[in-house]
Amino acid sequence: MIRSTTIHWLAALCLLFCITTAGADSPVGTLHSIQVGAFHTESEANEHAFAVQAEWGASPVHVIENPDNPSFRYRVALGNFPYLGEAWVYRNLLPEEAFPGAFIAVWEWDGRNLEPASLPLDLPFSVEGLQPAQELSTPAPSYQVPGDGELISNVTASSDLDELDAEELLTVGFHTTNNPLGREALLEFLDDPTGTEAALAASARLVRRAFGGQLFEMADEHIDLLRDSGVAEYEALGEWLAAYSIYYQGGNALDAFLELASDEGLPPSIRYDGLRMAAGIAHSQRNYPLAYVAFEQLERLNPDSATAVEARMQRVGFLFELVGREIGSWSEVRAKAESVEEMSGPETDSQATARLMYLETYFMEDNLRPVIREADRLVEDFPDVTREVHAAKYWKARALQELLRHEEAIAIFDELADSGLSSSEVFPALDVRAKSLYHLGRIHRRTGNDQAAEAAETRLLNEYPDSAEARMVTSGSE
């Protein structure tokens, strides 16, 4: 650990990439910086620090005295990160040619105010020109098609379309919940549209309906029409839909969404959506550095919106996953999770998700009683967030199981197994229905109730045959 006896704070020369790193969620005692040089004398270190700042615009740059190493007593380091996982992210995004051999250094924080970092990150996207927004909206044509509930309820089959005029076809095409019927109505409208803008809006709506039916040839045909329309609004929608076409067809859409996020000629709604989708795809590819900074930028540009809360919650998730790779600590994850609930704005499901990760850290540490306490607190504070509430109950049952409080655990596992939850109401990696049946079987086996164990395991195999828990039962593993 670096013993920080003197730290020189150098003023920023330019802003390359703003990072919000210091604040109320910082763990007291230590901070992390990225060491980019070590020198025998303070003057050499200062000279290097000024050179780094002048050439790369990095800020803040610290010169840190380390008496434990007299040969290289003065270290030059970038940034001030409250979390090891966060420092690891940004270390991986520094250009290697500029900072070869850079590594993370830890130093004692004396409580002074810390400026946000501005580092020369090597990123495949830009938010230049993207203005902060309070709320995000899904990109859509400005051309509005009013709904007509009576008409929609009366049109239920293809034959009903024959009696409709162009305006009614467009209404059905936009608003019916019957996707194939909606496609058919839009195609009939496009055979003889009532105007150029109406036709372009119909093509944009048809693309979305074609995605729903996996009719990608149809979708791409109308995407090309939009992109070549000569109307800026619809050209932009065409570019946006083209990225989704790659995504829905299973291609690598990351580059396409990054291009959307970076294109200053596109509307903000499309750029924001591109950045959000790119962040999600990068996460799915375990590209944590790219995903982390993309969500960080979404939070920075939407400081008071539900998007900002979700973006920070996602970064809690990244820190959580990085601990599994021995980068960071569970206490850091808890600190970041707590900061989600401290954000301004309306209560959202993302706050419940952050709270869930908070309680899960205790289970990962085998600190079981706080799991029970935090599960009860989550259920009380977020009673309407179904997925997180049932996940919290599951972790409470697991803690009770590990504490050998079997009857209490069985009661909760039974409740979850019989909950009637749909697949959309459980986490893909935490299906509390299958997991509860599995652990019911384990408890009953270990307490000598083989009949009850067999009943739970049989139900698991019948209801969730493709689950990991079913495979463990079949293989006899735990």
Task: Record the pTM.
Answer: 0.87
Residue 416 lies in a domain: yes
Q: How much is the pLDDT for 29?
A: 72
Amino acid at 141: P
Amino acid at 38: A
Residue 331 lies in a domain: no
Q: How much is the pLDDT for 115?
A: 78
The pLDDT tens digits along the chain (478 residues) read 233 334 333 322 233 555 555 443 444 478 899 999 999 999 999 999 999 999 998 989 989 888 888 899 999 999 989 899 999 999 999 999 999 999 999 888 767 677 788 899 999 999 999 988 767 778 888 899 999 999 999 999 999 999 999 999 999 999 999 999 999 999 999 999 888 999 999 999 999 999 999 999 999 999 999 999 999 999 999 999 999 999 999 999 999 999 999 999 999 999 999 999 999 999 999 999 999 999 999 999 987 788 899 999 999 999 999 999 999 999 999 999 999 999 987 788 999 999 999 999 999 999 999 999 999 999 999 999 999 999 999 999 999 999 999 999 999 999 999 999 999 999 999 999 999 999 999 999 999 999 999 999 999 999 999 999 999 999 877 6
Instruction: Find the domain containing 369 and state its range.
Output: 347-475
Residues 34 and 91: beta-carbon distance below 8 Å: yes
Among 99, 118, 137, which residue terminates a domain? 118
What φ, ψ does residue 373 adopt, rounded to 5°? -60, -45
Q: How far apart are CA 22 and CA 114, in angstroms?
A: 6
Distances (CA, A) of 1 to 4, 68, 111, 161, 292: 9, 10, 17, 74, 26
Residue 189 lies in a domain: no
16: Cβ–Cβ under 8 A, 6 or more apart, which residues? 56, 57, 58, 118, 119, 120, 121
Residue 36 lies in a domain: yes
Among 59, 89, 118, which residue terminates a domain? 118
Q: How much is the pLDDT for 310?
A: 94
Say how many domains are in the chain. 2
Start-end of H helices in 249-348: 254-262, 268-284, 288-301, 306-323, 330-341
Residues 79 and 112: beta-carbon distance below 8 Å: no
Place of tokens 């509390």: 432
- What the block records as the tokens of 468 is 């990991």
Residue 237 lies in a domain: no
Q: Which long-range contacts (CB under 8 A, 24 or more apart) does 46-54 make?
A: 46/8, 48/76, 49/8, 49/10, 49/76, 50/10, 52/76, 52/78, 53/10, 53/12, 53/13, 54/13
Q: How is residue 160 annotated by DSSP?
A: G
- What the block records as the tokens of 142 is 């400005």
Place of tokens 């230590």: 30
Q: How much is the pLDDT for 19?
A: 58
For residue 68, the tally of other CB atoms under 10 A from its CB is 9
Among 93, 118, 143, which residue terminates a domain? 118
Q: How far apart are CA 478 and CA 464, in angstroms?
A: 17
Q: How much is the pLDDT for 24?
A: 39
- The CATH number of the domain holding residue 87 is 3.30.70.1070
What φ, ψ does residue 50 adopt, rounded to 5°? -65, -35
Residue 399 lies in a domain: yes
Distances (CA, A) of 287 to 21, 244, 401: 20, 20, 35
Residues 89 and 46: beta-carbon distance below 8 Å: no
Residue 216 lies in a domain: no
Residue 177 lies in a domain: no
DSSP code string of 21-54: --STTSPTTEEEEEEEEEESSHHHHHHHHHHHHH
- The CATH number of the domain holding residue 398 is 1.25.40.10
